[in-house]
Amino acid sequence: MIKVGIVGGTGYTGVELLRLLAVHPDVQLTAITSRKEDGLPVADMFPSLRGRVNLAFSSPDKADLSKCDVVFFATPHGVAMAQAPALLAAGVKVIDLAADFRIKDKAVFEKWYKIEHTCPGLLDEAAYGLAELNRDAIKGARLVANPGCYPTTMQLGYYPLLKAGLIDAGSLIADCKSGVSGAGRKAEIATLFSESSDNFKAYGVAGHRHTPETSAQLQKFTADKVGLVFTPHLVPMIRGMHSTLYGRLTKDVSNEELQALFEAQYLDSPFVDVMPFGSHPETRSTRGSNMLRLALHRPDNGNTVIVLVVQDNLVKGASGQAVQCMNLMFGLEETTGLTQIALLP
């Protein structure tokens, strides 16, 4: 059994990790930390876990995380970088759900996240945890940087087109929407029910921290300079993410060839569902599951290709993807513990 520790078990990604790992056949939950909730049984805070998780939260100084095989950080940015070096030195593998190791350039990280990076020596070592595009590196890694939710949809949507050299890499447009849970489990006016319900708005239009992460990863797929315009929106739902990706075709290609390109690329990716050409994937078709669904469109058979991508921002966009990485790191089947079917309605 894989002994698992979770740092930061009270947020949305933390409880989602608990939900998934509590029924994982190869996992033994060993420690769950929270300074504020030290000593509180997990099931008292999250009754959905009654009978499944019998641990209590413990403060970080009381939890002996060095006895774990892997530790997940479901914490604000900056926490993992402070604790990862000691855990790695003790032989513990680390998966960070925050952004501490996603961006390789220390200066770029500090510009966007407004904090000092305290262990830049680990940036080059960290494997980027998008399994569909980076399986081999994840399998051999001891430190994984879990991708951001928006970047997951953008990379999986654009990758086949950039790899094949079919679109103009310099004019990518991503119009993306996320449910309110993407903002985290905290008291904040913008995400109060009366503020976010029956409302729709864009944010981060002048610049969003997921832009440098996505651009750097997309740049690996093409020799041309990547130019990405990314606009995120907040929609009045709890879970779910929908990204509408636009690319300008630079080669003569049929719709059938476009569809075949995506189907071939993700043939061996159990959590990417390439739907029939012209489909309209819905966020509810992925709710509670680790599945990402996408579909291709080409208005008037012109030179614009549109990729519609949906996922659950807390599962494939965060905790489910992290468990997917853990499975690869420990030689398990990638789908282990992640075959939940989406909730409908």
Indicate which residues carry an active-site annotation. Answer: 149
Spatial separation of the C-alpha atoms in residues 318 and 209, rounded to whole Å: 16
Q: Which two tokens stand for residue 7?
A: 């740092």
Quickly count: other Cβ atoms within 10 Å of residue 135's Cβ: 16
Spatial separation of the C-alpha atoms in residues 205 and 229, rounded to whole Å: 9
Quickly count: other Cβ atoms within 10 Å of residue 142's Cβ: 17
Using an 8 Å Cβ cutoff, are 139 and 195 in contact?
Answer: no
Element (H, E) at 138: helix 131-139
Residue 338, class by beta-carbon neighbours within 10 Å (0-12 exposed, 13-18 middle, 19+ buried)? buried
For the sheet with 304-311, list strands across it: 201-202, 228-234, 172-178, 241-248, 304-311, 292-297, 272-274
Which of 54, 35, 34, 36 is closest to 44 using CA atoms? 54
Using an 8 Å Cβ cutoff, are 66 and 5 in contact?
Answer: no
Quickly count: other Cβ atoms within 10 Å of residue 250's Cβ: 15
